[in-house]
Amino acid sequence: MIIQNPQVLLPQSELDPRVISKLERYARVCYKSEGQMTEQGDPDFLKRIIKSGHESIIEHEKITLMFIIDRGISHEIVRHRAGAAYSQESTRYCNYSKDKFSNEISVIDPYFFRDDPQAYKLWMDSCQTAESSYMNLLKAGRSPQEARSVLPNSLKTEIVVSYNMREWRHFLRLRCDKAAHPQMRQVGIPILLLFREKIPVLFADVEYDSNFSAEHYAPIIMTDDNFIPLK
């Protein structure tokens, strides 16, 4: 059994700074004020529109990334439906007994158990039992889609997520809040902080749980358009 930490893969091209000028141009159609556009752009124009609640304007642009998380957290992510698209690793078709999976399952480390050896051992024993049962079911002739019945919520999954900018704001407001699941905040907050840095006009006003320890933040790995990490 492989134990790994969550991470986020983000194509560098998804953070194109030109998105702000494009959104400004789209928005100005509403007021027929495109003649007021300048080469430098007017970020305050978009800020005023967002503050007024006219967020449909920013639905024209989107960001796509890949989460590597546990399946429990992925179930929360796919609850977001408006302006969303998903492609997820399928436990129906992936057979974790095969060589390309190293003949074992992968699970996401629950950081909140690390300081409690007894809890961590209980979690690990449970996952190993699930792995053993899964492999035995496959050996007994059951299909992956049947054997998956015993796989744990901690199972690692890869899910490609595309949200338009309005949905990213909605997602991050909910999933970075102190009421969100800790493993959701673990991936959500570093995304928000990066978006606030790169596209502040759209995300600087989105609040988050600032008391969540940065030591638990999942790394964001910049990639090419095929999710291959940049050198």
Active-site positions?
Answer: 175
Tell me which residue of 87, 64, 77, 71 sits closest to 185, measured CA to CA: 77
Q: How far is the CA of 153 from the CAs of 6, 156, 160, in angstroms?
A: 14, 8, 18
Partner residues linked to 66 by β-bridges: 9, 160
User: What gap in Å lies between CA 189 and CA 193, rounded to an integer?
Assistant: 6
Strands 220-223, 7-11: pairing is parallel
Q: At what angle do helices 165-175 and 182-198 cross, to 10 degrees?
A: 140
Would you call 30 exposed, middle or buried from its count of C-beta atoms within 10 A (0-12, 13-18, 19+)? exposed
Place of tokens 């940049």: 230
